[in-house]
């Protein structure tokens, strides 16, 4: 009965909004539409104007799917690399690419900048109270549990075995077949499927079989993909009330989301129950996936471990594939760098283990450089718990969103110098007297690709190990050649993580090697 009343209230609010605000909105839009001004490019970008009620909505509308680049361009011309954006209905959002502000948000005043109610409630249908959708003590408790497991050598070894098996038994054969048949692959899709299979094995000990071509794909994999896409689109709604009403009425995309989430959660809980049954029957469980680890450490609540593992799948499935997609794109444009990486790979054994992979210094630097230009998560938003003032003097009011812009920071001349646009792994390296390279890490508040402070990514080392293993396995045998026309630059877009708009079509070429 209460839910019915809430639904009726939501519907009443929608009709109130339609009757009061839309006439003014469409009147303003019709006037704006007559303006022949072209969408801004980097040479003409200006701080967006704000209007009553609608804020800077029209400026946002004009840039379309170039929103990340547009925000970055504005930050480059803004004092102290910070600006305040006016959203509809008087809401304000601070964007910053200032390292001092980033350190203040992520470390100095960590307790004042949280995920916040809006982000948590938007994602809760899918992620529940998992570690990446939690604040305060709930987050702290899960962080402590996960931190302990991520620091074990046995997990590192398990991840290494999973990646090696997926690479040698699935990814490499698919690429060899494509090379033999002169087939064009959407390499972004291939990498997304590959990392999804990897993270499912690491998290659940479950083979999603998403990469291997088959007649019937895992319902879990399909449902997970759909749930991720739909829930990420909630953040793109101009008025959140729209998706909330659709959810209340169980229609459209929200109905599909509910069905997909139910499929994911039922499947995950069945795996949890099966693991718990196995643990009861066996003194020791051979599997060392994360779910088994959480259960054996005494955390047996189904909802708790399900939410936690689903969050880790989300964190691991698209970020690594996004990083690799843009990495291979940059390599295709920089043959000098590719030659150096291939040379380093050929000096290692044919199936390099972790101890060898971690010493692939030039490859590691190239991956860092790629993520500087194309970060897997280009922005991260926090909500202010109370009024504050950032180090650059920007005033922040309670409840305001504050977004640090990783993409803009990677393209900042004040941080990276005049040659910031160059793909240059050497900026991460120092030449030793022996002639070998030494990797030199950057300050995490200048380069917050893996966040920084208390929420620093636990899976950072695991991600690098996986990416370096994939790069070594692929480039030892193949060259990845984009099929796009010369001079065409792919568009960088973002949902929950970055993507290459329209996919990444490539040809796979067998590499000629000499013994």
Answer yes or no: is 2 within a domain. Answer: no
pLDDT value at position 217? 64
pLDDT at 322 over 70: yes
* Separation of alpha carbons 290 and 312, rounded Å: 9
- Give the angle 79-82-86 at the CA atoms, nearest 5°: 115
- How many domains does the chain fold into? 1
Q: What is the band of 316 on the pLDDT scale with cuts at 50, 70, 90?
A: confident
pLDDT in tens, 148-162: 888 788 888 898 999
Cα distances (angstroms) measured from residue 487 to each of 333, 428, 482, 490: 10, 27, 11, 10
Average pLDDT of the residues in 326-343: 96
Question: Which of 139-143, 243-247, 345-349 shows the lowest per-residue confidence on average (mean pLDDT)?
Answer: 345-349
Q: Determine the structural domain holding residue 114 and report its residue range.
A: 55-510
pLDDT in tens, 441-485: 999 999 999 999 999 998 899 899 999 999 999 999 999 999 988
pLDDT value at position 32? 41
Answer yes or no: is 462 within a domain. Answer: yes
Instruction: Compute the mean pLDDT over every residue in the chain, rounded to the nearest whole number.
Output: 86
Q: Quick one: which of 324, 311, 316 has its CA closest to 189?
A: 324
Answer yes or no: is 13 within a domain. Answer: no
Question: Where residue 62 sits, what CATH number does that domain have?
Answer: 1.10.630.10
Question: Which of 29-43, 280-294, 386-400, 470-484 shows the lowest per-residue confidence on average (mean pLDDT)?
Answer: 29-43
492 within 8 A of 69, measured Cβ to Cβ: yes
pLDDT value at position 515? 43
Burial code (b: 16+ CB inside 10 Å, e: under 16) for 186-202 equals: ebbebbbbbbbbbbbbb
Answer yes or no: is 40 within a domain. Answer: no
pLDDT value at position 275? 85
Answer yes or no: is 323 within a domain. Answer: yes
pLDDT in tens, 49-73: 888 888 888 887 888 888 999 999 9
Q: Quick one: which of 368, 341, 350 has its CA closest to 463?
A: 368
* Separation of alpha carbons 131 and 141, rounded Å: 9
Contacts 24+ apart (CB under 8 A), 38-46: 39/63, 39/64, 39/66, 40/70, 40/73, 42/69, 42/73, 45/70, 45/73, 45/74, 45/77, 46/74, 46/77
Q: Quick one: which of 168, 191, 511 has its CA closest to 329?
A: 191
pLDDT in tens, 117-130: 999 999 999 999 99
CA 298 from centre of chain: 30
- Is pLDDT larger for residue 218 or for residue 134? 134
Sign of the C-alpha dihedral computed for residues 450, 447, 503 and 350 taken in this order: negative
The string of DSSP letters for 307-374 reads: HHHHHHHHHHHSHHHHHHHHHHHHHHH-HHHHHHHHHHHHTS-SS--HHHHTT-HHHHHHHHHHHHHS
Cα distances (angstroms) measured from residue 476 to each of 159, 347, 351, 352, 437: 21, 10, 10, 11, 21
pLDDT at 417 over 80: yes
**Percent over 90 (pLDDT), the chain:** 57
Answer yes or no: is 421 within a domain. Answer: yes
* 457 marked among binding-site residues: yes
Question: Which of 204-213, 371-380, 495-504 shows the lowest per-residue confidence on average (mean pLDDT)?
Answer: 204-213
Q: What is the band of 328 on the pLDDT scale with cuts at 50, 70, 90?
A: very high
**Percent over 70 (pLDDT), the chain:** 87
pLDDT at 169 over 70: yes
Average pLDDT of the residues in 266-270: 90
Answer yes or no: is 12 within a domain. Answer: no
pLDDT value at position 294? 85
Query: Cβ neighbours of residue 329 under 8 Å, at least 6 residues apart?
Result: 374, 482, 490, 500, 504
Q: HSE of 465 in the Cβ direction (CA atoms, 13 Å)?
A: 21
- Is pLDDT larger for residue 286 or for residue 76? 76
Q: What is the band of 1 on the pLDDT scale with cuts at 50, 70, 90?
A: very low
Answer yes or no: is 438 within a domain. Answer: yes
Give the three-class secondary structure for 422.
coil
pLDDT at 405 over 50: yes
Q: Exposure of 158 by Cβ count < 10 A (0-12 exposed, 13-18 middle, 19+ buried)?
A: buried
Rg (CA), the chain: 24
Q: What is the band of 296 on the pLDDT scale with cuts at 50, 70, 90?
A: confident
pLDDT in tens, 344-379: 999 876 655 556 677 899 999 999 999 999 999 999
pLDDT at 18 over 50: no
- Is pLDDT larger for residue 240 or for residue 30? 240
């Amino acid at each position: 009965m209460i839910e019915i009343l809430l639904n009726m209230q939501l519907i009443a609010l929608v009709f109130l909004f339609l009757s009061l605000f839309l006439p003014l909105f469409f009147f303003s839009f019709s006037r704006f539409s007559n303006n022949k001004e072209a969408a801004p490019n980097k040479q003409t970008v200006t701080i967006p104007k704000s209007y009553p009620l609608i804020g800077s909505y029209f400026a946002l509308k004009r840039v379309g799917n170039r929103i990340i680049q547009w925000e970055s361009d504005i930050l480059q011309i803004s004092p102290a690399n910070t600006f305040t954006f006016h959203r509809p209905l008087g809401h304000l959002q601070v964007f910053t690419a200032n390292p001092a502000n980033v350190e203040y948000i992520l470390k100095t005043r960590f307790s004042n900048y949280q995920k916040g109610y809006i982000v948590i409630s938007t994602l809760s249908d899918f992620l529940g109270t998992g570690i990446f959708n939690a604040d305060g003590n709930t987050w702290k408790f899960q962080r402590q549990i996960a931190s302990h497991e991520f620091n074990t050598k046995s997990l590192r070894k398990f991840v290494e075995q999973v990646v090696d098996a997926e690479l040698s038994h699935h990814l490499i054969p698919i690429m060899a077949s494509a090379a033999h048949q002169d087939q064009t692959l959407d390499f972004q899709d291939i990498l997304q499927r590959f990392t999804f299979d990897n993270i499912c094995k690491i998290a659940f000990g479950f083979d999603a079989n998403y990469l291997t071509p088959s007649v019937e794909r895992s319902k879990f994999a399909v449902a997970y993909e759909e749930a991720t896409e739909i829930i990420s689109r909630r953040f793109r709604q101009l008025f959140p009330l729209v998706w909330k009403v659709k959810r209340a009425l169980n229609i459209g995309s929200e109905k599909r989301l509910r069905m997909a989430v139910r499929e994911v959660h039922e499947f995950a809980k069945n795996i949890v129950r099966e693991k718990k049954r196995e643990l009861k029957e066996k003194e020791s469980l051979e599997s060392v996936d994360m779910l088994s680890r959480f259960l054996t450490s005494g955390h047996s609540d189904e909802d708790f471990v399900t939410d936690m593992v689903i969050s880790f799948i989300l964190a691991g499935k698209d970020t690594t594939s996004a990083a690799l997609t843009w990495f291979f794109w940059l390599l295709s444009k920089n043959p000098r760098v590719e030659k150096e990486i291939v040379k380093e790979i050929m000096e290692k054994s044919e199936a390099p283990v972790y101890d060898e992979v971690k010493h692939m210094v030039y490859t590691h630097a190239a991956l860092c450089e790629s993520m500087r230009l194309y970060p897997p998560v280009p922005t991260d938003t926090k909500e202010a718990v109370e009024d504050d003032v950032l180090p650059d003097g920007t005033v922040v009011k309670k409840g305001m969103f504050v977004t640090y812009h990783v993409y803009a920071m990677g393209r900042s001349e004040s941080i990276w110098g005049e040659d910031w646009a160059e793909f240059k792994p050497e900026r991460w390296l120092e030449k030793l007297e022996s002639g070998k390279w030494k990797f030199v890490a950057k300050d995490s508040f200048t380069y917050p690709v893996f966040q920084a402070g208390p929420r620093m990514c636990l899976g950072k080392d695991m991600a690098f190990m996986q990416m370096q293993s994939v790069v070594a396995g692929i480039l030892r045998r193949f060259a990845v050649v984009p099929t796009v026309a010369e001079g065409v630059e792919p568009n960088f877009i973002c949902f929950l993580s970055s993507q290459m708009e329209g996919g990444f079509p490539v040809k796979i070429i067998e590499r000629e090697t000499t013994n």
